Amino acid sequence: MKSLKHCIAAALLAGTSSMAQAADLEVTHWWTSGGEAAAVKVLADNFNKTGHNWKDSAIAGGGNARPVIISRISGGDPMGATQLNSGRDAEELVQAGFMTDLTELAEKEGWKDIVRPSKLLDSCTYEGKIFCVPVNIHSFQWMWLNRSVFTDNGMEVPKSWDEMTAMQDKLKEKNIIPLALGGEPWQISGLAGVLTVALGGVELHTKINVEKSVEAAESEIMTRVFEALGNARSMVDPGNVGRAWNTATNMVITGKAASQIMGDWAQGEFAVAGQVAGKDYDCLPGLGINPVLDTGGDSFFFPKPKGDNAEEIVKAQLAMASMLMSKQVQVDFNLKKGSLPIRGDIDMSAANDCMQKGIKILEKPENILPSSEQVWSPDTQGQFEDLWVEFFSSPEMKVADAQARFVNIIKTAD
């Protein structure tokens, strides 16, 4: 027979656990590709281990997801947690007081001393308080190459954008698409941004993106960026319109295309396909010309909950924030995602050759660039995106006219 003491202890325990109720937390994100889904699973499994329940609410495509997420929060229909890009995506929502304050947890866990580079936490900070958790570092400035497409056809695997463009005719003769591209606007503006860094280096990137220099926007080197993007039209297939980025990555994986310029999240797709960096595929940071990287990536925000169970939701939000920052989750999640961790005190020796290249580049502060989400307001970003898409899809548009529009955007950019 159980003792009275035992019964009381059990009753007390039951009381505590029902007080700390498990909450269902709806989590929105745009991680729907194979590699991304594998990375999401790491987060969901670890969150569920805290006793709460991850209710997945994925919306395909960053361009579609971002406005839906933002309008749900500002329209009074908040999710429990959401991914957005690190930077200015949620700036107005934070300023308007829509987000749960994570400062107490951040101080308790010493996030300020953990997060590297510390600028990532700056993007989460407003009036000295912390409103988001950066989870990874992603960079756009990469070209991915299928090695056997070249070696099987008697070609050397290119080591730079120039070598790659010089091989396009040979590739086309073999029915191989030189450059896999998708049609979502952010993919085309991303390509333009990568060409800007590759051709103009840190100097041009800084003058344009940080100093908003009209002179740099008008410069000859910027003309060359427009020309390079114009020339890239002949390297892509007509099917690119509307294509998702991971479908384009898959074209490289299967050898239908030779290369893709895409952020390092593409590595998640190579990993899911069982391909090995340096053996099956190669990567050229900065297109093999200027190997520098931006420190964009993703952060999680936790909109203030409404309704009767708001207190439980906040507890679940804090449990998730803490889990995202933990060492093991940082390792496991980022290895699947193809991104780099946001803390420097963890063992990333399991990272593949391309990730190791990225880690080495980011060791030097002069190699680190801010991402477009970090420097531009969503409105300015939209204006650039429209211009790049229009230019890329209109071969009749003159470089001089496109560049003049670019200069005008820079003049009023914020």
Binding site for ligand BGC (CB under 6 A): 30-31, 36, 62, 85, 138, 245, 265, 297-298
Shortest Cβ 30–ligand BGC spacing (Å): 5
Please, which residues bridge with residue 84 across strands? 299
What is the H or E stretch that residue 364 is in?
none
Task: Dig out the tokens for 53 from the structure.
Answer: 């329940």
Shortest Cβ 339–ligand BGC spacing (Å): 7
Shortest Cβ 411–ligand BGC spacing (Å): 27
What is the H or E stretch that residue 9 is in?
helix 4-19
* 265 vs 300, beta carbon nearer ligand BGC: 265
Shortest Cβ 85–ligand BGC spacing (Å): 5
Shortest Cβ 59–ligand BGC spacing (Å): 11
Task: Dig out the tokens for 262 from the structure.
Answer: 């895409």
* 23 vs 90, beta carbon nearer ligand BGC: 90
Q: What is the DSSP letter of 168?
A: H
Shortest Cβ 362–ligand BGC spacing (Å): 16
- Counting every residue written for the chain, the total comes to 414
Task: Dig out the tokens for 307 from the structure.
Answer: 């309704």
Work out the widest C-alpha separation in the chain, in whole angstroms.
90
* 298 vs 312, beta carbon nearer ligand BGC: 298
* 30 vs 150, beta carbon nearer ligand BGC: 30
* 87 vs 286, beta carbon nearer ligand BGC: 87
- How far apart CA 97 and CA 397 sit, in angstroms, is 44
Instruction: Report helix, strand or coil for 317.
Output: helix
Dihedral sign, Cα of residue 78, residue 121, residue 50, residue 6? negative
Q: What angle (nearest 5°) sits at the alpha carbon of residue 276, between those of residues 273 and 282?
A: 110
* 30 vs 226, beta carbon nearer ligand BGC: 30
Pairing verdict, β 142-146 and 257-261: antiparallel
Shortest Cβ 35–ligand BGC spacing (Å): 8
Q: Do residues 375 and 296 touch, judged by C-beta distance below 8 A?
A: no
* 79 vs 402, beta carbon nearer ligand BGC: 79
- How far apart CA 404 and CA 59 sit, in angstroms, is 36
Shortest Cβ 39–ligand BGC spacing (Å): 8
Shortest Cβ 265–ligand BGC spacing (Å): 3
Q: What is the DSSP letter of 332?
A: H
Instruction: Report helix, strand or coil for 31.
Output: coil
Shortest Cβ 82–ligand BGC spacing (Å): 13
* 62 vs 303, beta carbon nearer ligand BGC: 62
* 266 vs 277, beta carbon nearer ligand BGC: 266
Instruction: Report helix, strand or coil for 10.
Output: helix
Q: What angle (nearest 5°) sits at the alpha carbon of residue 273, between those of residues 267 and 276?
A: 60
- How far apart CA 291 and CA 361 sit, in angstroms, is 7
Tell the burial category of 348 from Cβ atoms under 10 Å away from its Cβ (0-12, 13-18, 19+): middle
* 265 vs 281, beta carbon nearer ligand BGC: 265
Dihedral sign, Cα of residue 185, residue 187, residue 191, residue 194? positive
User: Which residue's Cβ has the minimum distance to ligand BGC?
Assistant: 265
